[in-house]
Amino acid sequence: MHGLSLASDLVEKALKTLEDYHVREIRKIEVEVGELAGISPGELQSGFSIAASGTPLRDAELSIKIKKARIRCHNCGYNGPIESGKHPHLHVSPRCPGCHGFGIEILEGGGVTLRNLDVELE
């Protein structure tokens, strides 16, 4: 269900972006999925297939790139990537690799971002 909700938001943003243009075809939608977004590329793809059906995006290719997460620890001041090897799609809070505390702020790689629309104009 989370995948469908995020995909529906993506479809809505893409359609809103294209409102003022005369678009003949939407070929590709490029998105960035943060490794701490709580969703796998497969879940987003499945949700997109459902959310885009019946819209001008129905035949568009969804291109997904993973964005590495970067965090800042409020306990020890660490600023950098999370520990590698952790499964990014588990719904758990990541820990600071410096002090192993949970008092972190996600600076990058925590969401889903629409990056580009490849279209053919009329």
For 45-59, the pLDDT digits (tens) are: 999 999 999 998 999
Length reported for the chain = 122
Dihedral sign of CA atoms 80, 84, 89, 93 in order: negative
Dist CA 38 CA 26 (whole Å): 27
Dist CA 5 CA 10 (whole Å): 9
Task: Give the percent of the chain with pLDDT over 70.
Answer: 90
Full set of structural domains in the chain with CATH: 2-121 (3.30.2320.80)
Dist CA 26 CA 103 (whole Å): 42
State the pLDDT at residue 84.
Answer: 56
Q: What is the pLDDT of the chain when averaged over all its residues?
A: 86
Dist CA 100 CA 82 (whole Å): 11
User: Is the pLDDT reported for residue 122 higher than 80?
Assistant: no
Average pLDDT over residues 6-32: 88
3-state secondary structure of 18: helix
